[in-house]
A and B are shown apart, each in its own frame.
Chain A
Amino acid sequence: MRLGIDVGGTFTDLLLHDDATGRTWQAKTPSTPADQSVGVLEGIRLISRIAGITPNDIRLVLHGTTVATNAVLEGKGARVGLLVTEGFEYVLHLAKSWTPGPLFGWIIMDKPEPPASLDDTRAIAERMDAKGNVLRALDVAQATAAIDALCGSGIEALTISLMHAYANPAHERALGEIVARRFPDLPVSLSSDILPEFREYDRTITTVINDYVRPVMRRYLSRIEGRMAAEGMTARLHIVRSDGGLMSAAAAAERPVHTVLSGPAGGVTSTVMLARQTGRARLLGFDMGGTSTDVCVVLDGEPVVSRTTEVGSFPAKVPTLDVRSVGAGGGSIAEVADLTGSLRVGPRSAGAQPGPVAYGRGGTEPAVSDANVVLGYLSPTLLDGSMQLDVEAARRAVGALGARIGLTPEQAAQGILDIANETMLGALRVITVQRGLDPRDFGIVAFGGAGPLHGNALAAVLGCYPVIVPPRPGVFSALGFVQSEFKNEFTQTLIRTAAALDEAEVWRTVDDLSVRATAWLEAEHIPTGDRRLSAVIDMRYEQQGFEVAVALTDAAMAARDLAAVIAQYHRDHERMYGVRFAVPVELVAVRVIAAGRTPGLREVAPQVAPGTSRTGSRPCFFAGAWHDTPTHDRTRLPPGATLTGPAIVDQYDTTTVILPGHRAEVDAFGNLLIWPATEAK
């Protein structure tokens, strides 16, 4: 049995799958932010009860965690020491010198303290040049003295990041060995291990973040493993990486920076799996939660992997599923600006506490969820009746806001939803049209607590149909974890102009990396038949700042044909940015990605009698008027069932809105598909 665990800000979602019977169970339990492992264990017990098993029946635990991200966002990471090349002690302090726009943006800029303090930064006498030649030999005596002073001062982890270490890691390794001899218990990361790429600030901050979250992650993992053992469990624990792959708990303890987007990765993986399941190769993932919305794009049944992401205000250059996050969710607060009278939604959020006004927990400012309540989209009772909403309070709050700008409560509620949707549309445009992709070629998968409420409205603007609401939108991320593959990436920076290329060197690099990748698959006990290796070369026009990753096709690999790869680069650049140049192309890095397949998830759709889903009706406001709108129970919609909009589909932890002028049908896998009424299948 496989168990996926998704720890969110409010709830911990679990999804258990029995490969033998094809049965799946889900559970939801409050998260325990002080020590997430408490909630995780509670969830394991709960889902075991629901499924009628003992925890030891679980073979694999696949865990997406926000422990690393939260430590950075809340400034609660470890005290990290930093060794840098003399002359560059201020690398984190000066950062990129960036200040925000427009003119005078610095007036309102807030700059967080870097995750390694200048108090804990020491200069090392040494220097490499860009080619990896030693310009100044490492002064071992000076280095040893600096290490003794720093490592004995109470730091909890150490980063070593020297100039041009990506080109020659010798000095970093020598320092690492000195530390290992003198402070064997201190966790140490080398920038040349964590990110062997040029750009000193990016490399240093990424490595420091790794160390900043490492002790936190270690503690968390050992607690969770301890609790599982105490529960009599022998399941293997795997952590989901930011690129959607799995890593062992031991590897996560060494390189937690690879987990900074572990949480959102589940939704992407699920979207990919849905693409493969339904044969729809192009999908947008739309995960709307309480405080934020994550969107992603799936092309040809594959996710887009980005080379960089941001954790709070710090960049982290690690392979990451390309998820665009915007601060608009069900809890986003609506307000009217003083001077201009414009309606704004977010980025402030009511969060789980006090929550939207309708929750009756003390919230007074109207949130997006309140607008959904006012318009009748959200049922007055949620979570199978265990939560009662205060509809009148929501209406009063939204109405008061509307009165300030001359709108009725309904108009104001509609306005709040439209503005929130526009923010999310902006994010969806960034991942599609900005890359030369037409959203009308895509379907959109709506999930998360609020995704199915808004999905249809977004599709109506973008023209991306069908809207696909999976059977369990609330635990879609946990579902993704259960289906994640083992994955690791092996990189070598190789800055070479294509004009004077030693092709043998490139292929030798590919081969070397492949050997390392295969050894890793071996170590992770991946059966030979489930292994997959793929290679990419990062290229750009000479001196350009951004690379395009060009995949090595089987044909190019077999023929060892670099010219074809370079030709592909020109085509990709033109497709993405509309231009190609006659200037020389250069290679920047070679990467080999190792993957170990996980068995797919076969879920048996529940058998229910057709025509039994109708639960009643409630008034909903659409297009300027109230309509008595039929309501349906999602669990009683069998494959083949059809609905005509307007309609509302309620289920345990989410609600789907089907707008007027649309129709919906349930496919063979239990997905609810929404189309414009006029459009043929």
Chain B
Amino acid sequence: MQLDPVTLDLIENALKNARFEMDEVVRRVSLSPVIREQHDEFPMICDAAGRMVVGQFGSYIPGVLERYGADLADGDVFIWNDPYACKGSISHNNDWCVMLPVFHQGTLVGFSSIFGHMIDVGGKVPGSMPADARTIWEEGLRVPPVRIYEGGRLNQGVLDIMLNNSRTPDTNRSDMMALIAGCRTAAVRVCEICDRFGQDVYVAACQALLDRTRRAMAVLIAKYIPQVPVSFTDYVDDDGRGNGPFRMTLSIYRDGDIAVFDWTGTDAQAEGPINFLIHEGLCKLFFGVYMIMAYDPEILFNEGFYDLFRVVLPEGSLLNPRFPAALGNRLNTHTRFFDCQAGALGQQAPHLSMAAGYGTSPHFIYTGQDADGRYFQLMELLFGGVPGRPRGDGFDGHAWWPLFSATPLEYIENYYPVIVESYRPVRDSGGAGLHRGGCGIEKIYRVLAAGDVSIHDDRETVPPWGINGGLHGGTSSKHIIRAGSDTPESVPSKIDNLKVMPGDRVVFRTAGSGGWGDPLERPPASVARDVRYGVVSAERAATDYGVIVVGGQADAAATEALRATQLQARGPASKFDFGPRPQTI
């Protein structure tokens, strides 16, 4: 098969266009704000072997194919949500994954797939992620890979069962149809590419795109992965059942041409639902994408490099739990996975080093009945500090997760019985650094109807660390102020069924993030601006940055003197600043 480099580039671009078209279709059609406004959906296009050629996550098709083998037909659409039935291709029941085989002139040429977060899939609490679950049986309906369309015909029975087990059937139905519409769009595009260039050319191009990314990764591994192991340890606060903190330890080294990522030393699986069942392929993908983004973001993000990575996930650990461990609240562990990765890789290459962020995906779920007696279920993802990075400051109250965005407050207030009283960055929660870490946000909800609140958060006891001299960031906190009272009562990071009455206020503060680089080298004018903007206090400007701010401007002479004293007292900056951690660590 002759494949010229230009055709290869053309097919690469055409596949990228198709993948963004999938996003667009899903965004337009879906009803739930979680998918539409917050973009909690992840598309991909795979080759006939199920390897992701373009997309964001990937790697799960082979796990599903084991079950069905060659029994695939044009017009089939598969759906599933059980993490244990697909080897961790998705990691909690809320993610509904759809996948369809793409046939061109009767030949299987690939797969398209998307998973998206459904706001409710049943189980014992609204939102289906009970903070205190001990087994996955408590987390809603589990669907193994089944055909939702068979040869183009809807399998109404399956759909009815799935919707019958959700508190939000209408939303789930439309969101699922949105995911399927996105996959079908991709299938049409793939067939067009086959028509245009030839099916054999397309198949060869998919392999070549995988190979090309593999070659690039081999260079990155040789350059940045040392033969002597580097290790890093970070912690998840707790599991929602009073246990914790949970240790996660990653060691990275190079064995010949192979990069080894070894999680030995990570704690055993938790009693509560913070276990993260991760597919080994996904694990590799996460390492790969980090290196691609840090080195050359234009490299096509696919799974061509899998054989260059070896991953050790100890069985029975937080990252490889045994059935039926609860998984609903795995995002804390998921994010700490990335924190460990950044901490380990960053030790060798400063330009690959990022500080730690807000460390989870904070959820706020509020359910009840509105004034008209209608059931409502507000689910919102919150954001926090995006870390200091080689390129510059982190971001205050932004999404660590890709492509997510905040639901407009005016949207929430139009559709749910809630008033948001204020929405501001949390001052001093961004870790000091040459590049300041982003601040967490404080959102104050005043509820207008009696109901229940669920909260999922982390980084309340183990702060986000700073790197390369940068300092740690602020921790999270949640409080409730009852109607008629002024006294905030503390609310745990992981809780369900918090009863609220009209007039009660929930004060949700997410964690900030760590700083990058020596804060004593940050330009005083930038520190003064941060003080004027209300994101750094004048006190912390002095203690953390050695900058004296008077009347909104830095006092040059006083700053110089203070910085000299602080430098003398401190000596060289340390690689990491972990901040105050719980005694038990």
Contacts and interface: CB of A to CB of B under 8 A. Distances in A.
Interface string B1-43: 0001110111011100100010011011111110011000000
B196 interface: yes
A583 B170 contact: yes
B290 interface: yes
Contacts of A415: 5-6, 9
B297 A108 contact: yes
Interface residues of B, number: 92
Interface stretch (B393-401, B486-494, B496-504): B393-401
B386 A104 contact: no
B583 interface: no
Contacts of A199: 408, 410-411
B299 A87 contact: no
Interface string A82-113: 00001111100110111111111111111100
Contacts of B401: 99, 103
Secondary structure at the A interface, as helix, strand, loop or mixed, is loop
Given A198-B414, A545-B33, A101 B403 contact: yes
A90 B56 CA distance: 31
A103 B293 contact: yes
A569 interface: no
Interface stretch (A7-15, A339-347, A599-607, A612-620): A339-347
B198 interface: no
A175 to B, nearest CB: 19
Contacts of B441: 94
B323 interface: no
A337 B5 CA distance: 12
B405 interface: yes
A103 B44 CA distance: 13
A69 interface: no
A94 B171 CA distance: 28
Contact of B31 (A418, A544, A576): A544
Given A87-B422, A343-B6, A98 B405 contact: yes
Given A118-B534, A130-B413, A415-B6, A97 B383 contact: yes
B532 interface: yes
A490 interface: no
A621 interface: no
B398 A98 contact: yes
A434 B21 contact: yes
A414 interface: yes
Interface in A98-143: 98-111, 118-119, 129-130, 135
Interface in A405-419: 405-407, 411, 414-415, 418-419
Given A101-B56, A340-B216, A429-B17, A577 B9 contact: no
Contacts of B297: 107-108
B5 A339 contact: no
A103 B410 contact: no
Contacts of B188: 433
Nearest to B441: A94
Contacts of B196: 461
B375 interface: no
B284 interface: no
Given A99-B398, A434-B24, A164 B6 contact: no
B572 interface: no
A87 B421 contact: yes
A200 interface: yes
A129 B419 contact: yes
Contact of B289 (A103, A111, A406): A103
B424 A87 contact: yes
B288 to A, nearest CB: 10
Contacts of A461: 196
A99 B386 contact: yes
Nearest to B177: A579
Contact of A111 (B212, B395, B533): B395
Contact of B213 (A96, A340, A407): A340
Contacts of A338: 296
Contact of B413 (A129, A341, A434): A129
A412 B33 CA distance: 46
B410 A164 contact: yes
Contact of A577 (B181, B395, B534): B181
A104 B399 contact: no
Contact of B395 (A99, A135, A342): A99
A426 interface: yes
Contact of B424 (A89, A103, A541): A89
Interface in A544-558: 544-546
Among B212, B213, B289, B408: residue with most chain A CB under 10 A: B408
Contacts of B570: none
A93 B533 contact: yes
B122 interface: no
Interface string B499-515: 00000000000000000
A344 B5 contact: no
Contacts of B373: none
Nearest to A94: B397
A164 B413 contact: yes
Contact of B409 (A200, A340, A576, A578): A200
Nearest to A541: B31
Nearest to B422: A87
A93 B408 CA distance: 14
A163 interface: yes
B386 A418 contact: no
B402 A422 contact: no
Given A94-B441, A546-B28, A419 B415 contact: no
B532 A337 contact: no
Nearest to B185: A434
A369 to B, nearest CB: 18
A433 B173 CA distance: 25
Interface in B427-477: 441, 444
B293 A105 contact: yes
A430 interface: yes
Given A108-B293, A583-B170, 16 more contacts: A90-B396, A93-B533, A99-B386, A99-B395, A103-B286, A105-B293, A108-B391, A198-B414, A339-B220, A340-B300, A341-B212, A343-B6, A430-B24, A434-B21, A579-B174, A579-B177
6 contacts: A97-B397, A200-B408, A339-B295, A342-B5, A415-B9, A545-B36
Interface of A: 86-90, 93-94, 96-111, 118-119, 129-130, 135, 163-164, 198-202, 337-344, 405-407, 411, 414-415, 418-419, 422-423, 426, 429-430, 433-434, 461, 495, 541-546, 576-579, 581-583
Interface of B: 4-6, 8-10, 12-14, 17, 21, 24-25, 27-33, 36-37, 56, 170-171, 173-174, 177-178, 181, 184-185, 188, 196, 212-213, 215-216, 219-220, 286, 289-290, 293-301, 338, 354, 383, 386, 389-392, 394-406, 408-411, 413-415, 419-425, 441, 444, 532-534
